């Protein structure tokens, strides 16, 4: 009887491993897909592995994500979009030991699987002629006029559901 219970438990574990996926079961929130993207199992989204690599205004960021970014990776997904402020904030790692120095010399606290060239990223959240930016150096957001570019970046995301 005990042997049947053990075999049933092993079968259940194997089924869970297949249903949830090995990386998610192991507790890894982020998985490098080796194609220019990173899967975020916590949010159920796929992130670009890097930003646009240069100063960009909000409208240009939206265009880069829709029309340029999809051609820079080897996958053929067509539902890329700008992240919400909430999605960006979820990437922030408040631990001072976490993170890395960007190309613009700013220390950012984000998973090293997502490489930012500077720490300010546009969100899809807007208000009139302003849009919200998340600061990965300090972990807060603010708004600025959509036409400003000063070290702001675009980071693509897509829903995987």
CA distance 27 to 17: 12
Which residues make Cβ contacts (< 8 Å) with residue 22, sequence separation at least 6?
A: none
Rg (alpha carbons) of the chain, rounded to whole number: 19
CATH for the 33-159 domain, from 3.10.100, 1.10.1060, 3.40.50, 3.30.450:
3.10.100
Identify the band that residue 97 occupies on the pLDDT scale cut at 50, 70 and 90: confident
Domain boundaries, the chain: 33-159
Task: Note the pLDDT of residue 78.
Answer: 84
Residue with tokens 């880069």: 64
Question: 50 forms bridges with which residues in the sheet?
Answer: 115
Mean residue pLDDT across the chain: 86
Average pLDDT over residues 79-98: 92
Show the beta-strand stretches assigned E in 19-146.
Answer: 30-32, 37-40, 45-48, 100-101, 107-108, 120-127, 130-135, 140-145
- pTM of the full structure: 0.82
Average pLDDT over residues 25-44: 90
| Token pair for 59 | 């409208």
């Amino acid at each position: 009887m005990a042997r049947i219970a053990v075999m049933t438990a092993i079968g259940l574990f194997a089924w869970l491993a297949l249903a949830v996926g090995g990386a998610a079961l192991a507790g890894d929130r982020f998985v490098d897909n080796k194609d220019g993207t990173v899967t975020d199992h916590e949010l159920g989204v796929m992130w670009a592995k890097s930003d646009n690599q240069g100063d960009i205004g909000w409208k240009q960021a939206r265009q880069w994500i829709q029309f340029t970014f999809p051609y820079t990776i080897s996958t053929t997904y067509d539902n890329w979009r700008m992240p919400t402020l909430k999605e960006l904030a979820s990437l922030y790692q408040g631990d001072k030991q976490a993170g890395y120095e960007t190309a613009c010399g700013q220390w950012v606290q984000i998973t090293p699987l997502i490489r930012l060239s500077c720490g300010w990223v546009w969100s899809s959240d807007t208000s009139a002629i302003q849009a919200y930016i998340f600061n990965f150096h300090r972990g807060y957001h603010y708004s600025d006029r959509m036409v400003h570019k000063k070290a702001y970046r675009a980071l693509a995301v897509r829903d995987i559901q």
